[in-house]
Chains A and B, each alone.
Chain A
Amino acid sequence: MLEIKDLTLHYGAAQALKGISLTAEEGQITTVLGRNGVGKTSLMRAIVGRHPPSGGTITWQGESIARLTPPERAKRGIAYVPQGREIFPLLTVRENLEAAYATLPRGARKTPDAVFELFPVLLQMMNRRGGDLSGGQQQQLAIGRAMVMQPRLLVLDEPTEGIQPSIIKDIGRAIEYLRDQFGMAVVLVEQYFDFAKALADRYVVLDRGEAVMAGVKADIDANEAELRRWLTV
């Protein structure tokens, strides 16, 4: 389980997170919702170690990870699919996938078959450069690359942004598969509300660096009016 308590984060003197608490359990998808600029990506960066928090705690499977480097967190099973995907454009699809071997012990270095079952297009593109793939294919590659690490916690930042509807469906299916077959904890940042709603086991809404609303799947419909109020203008 991922447990975040009273997390604060600054960029210089500007405060992006003002005391956020959140838990994400294994076998569940926890979605983080909110408008632009409310702190969603900052929260993800704090979880994976890309930006140091200024206060609060981040605990993963009972261990405090807030001071660990990103590679140390990766070795503890935390994988990140950042906004904008960040695949290596000049490396081939195969090389992009193999880049994730770094976190695995020598004997375990292989790409799981599930990657190609979920995203068969990657198998056809193995020797193509990452940069030559379409945006949707790059997103699939970024998720596939995270899967190579065999993570226990998968952090996804707006995986549907700028992606065509058919591939959005594939991505949604893949996220459910990772939850159900591997029992991963998934933390999903989304601005595409219907997509987030369909996947969410629990949700938290951020506004101005604070968690303003939280709940579980069963109460989304009852609270939809309030949710929409936080997400729209």
Chain B
Amino acid sequence: MSTALIGAPLNAAQLYLDGVCRSFDGFKAINGLSLAVAKGELRAVIGPNGAGKTTMMDIITGKTRPDEGKVLWNGDTDLTKIDEAGVARLGIGRKFQKPTVFETHTVEDNIRLALKAPRGVFPVLFDRRSAEENRRVTEYLDRIRLTHLRAETAANLSHGQKQWLEIGMLLAQEPQLLLVDEPAAGMTDAETMETAELLKSIAGERTVIVVEHDMDFVRALNCRVTVLHQGSVLAEGSLDHVSARDDVIEVYLGR
């Protein structure tokens, strides 16, 4: 087993969900969920409908409060006590399934708007483009392979390119953890594979958690996979390991 597939010891985990529960009208969307993700890890989270994948992301980002349990960030900060903006400021970025770029701005300006920088009234009023800012914009454009389209209006990008741009905007905020929700949905095969490469290149320096249904994509990520079912972890390991397990097969067949 490669080192990429070894899970985090709990004390070294960057993100550690400990016994998290959350009910909606008596339905336990998250039911005793415990999960540890190491710094720099790439992790795929899969599971059938209603497994709790979205609720899990909502809890990590402070959008939803759990009824029970803790979400520890770098071992000491409990994210459940912090609001959404606070969680984002700690360095946790989230990309929703639908691309949400500024369609009427250029690709370059989209990245520029997302750069991590002072955003108070005075810094914004007296903002000037610095060489450093330009360098960072160029760096992120290279990273998402959209340099050749930097002057293009975002509305004219393909679906896959929009998703990459938004990943680039997320990177521009310099998060420590990226939560990415179904990036491959609606992409062509080639775009799907490029997206896998992009996320693999981001992992290492940053932690990446990807929720996905597309199994070709998950296979291409070649990372540790967590299978959620009824709000808790059913199985964890390499894709080959979890896909060979009878209990995983059963839940995918709806039994």
Contacts and interface: CB of A to CB of B under 8 A. Distances in A.
Interface of A: 10-16, 35-38, 160-162, 190-195, 208, 228, 231-233
Contact of B213 (A10, A15, A35): A35
Q: How would you classify the secondary structure of chain A's contact residues: helix, strand, loop or mixed? A: loop
Interface of B: 46, 48-50, 98-99, 157-159, 162, 182, 185-189, 213-216, 218, 227, 239, 242-243, 248-249, 252-255
Contacts of B243: 232-233
Contacts of A16: 186
A135 to B, nearest CB: 10
B254 A14 contact: no
Contact of A191 (B48, B159, B218, B227): B48
Nearest to B217: A208
A61 B55 CA distance: 43
Given A37-B214, A162-B50, A193 B255 contact: yes
Q: How would you classify the secondary structure of chain B's contact residues: helix, strand, loop or mixed? A: loop
Contacts of A36: 48-49, 213
Given A35-B213, A193-B254, A208-B216, A233 B242 contact: yes
B75 to A, nearest CB: 31
Contacts of A38: 213
30 contacts: A11-B186, A13-B99, A13-B157, A13-B158, A14-B185, A14-B187, A15-B186, A35-B252, A36-B48, A36-B49, A36-B213, A37-B182, A37-B185, A38-B213, A160-B254, A161-B50, A191-B48, A192-B253, A194-B253, A194-B255, A208-B214, A231-B252, A231-B253, A232-B248, A232-B249, A233-B46, A233-B218, A233-B242, A233-B243, A233-B252
B131 to A, nearest CB: 34
Nearest to B239: A233
A38 B157 CA distance: 23
B159 A12 contact: yes
A199 to B, nearest CB: 13
Nearest to A160: B254
A16 B253 CA distance: 23
Given A14-B186, A192-B253, A193-B255, 16 more contacts: A13-B157, A14-B99, A14-B159, A16-B186, A36-B48, A36-B213, A161-B49, A191-B49, A191-B254, A194-B255, A228-B253, A231-B253, A232-B252, A232-B253, A233-B227, A233-B242
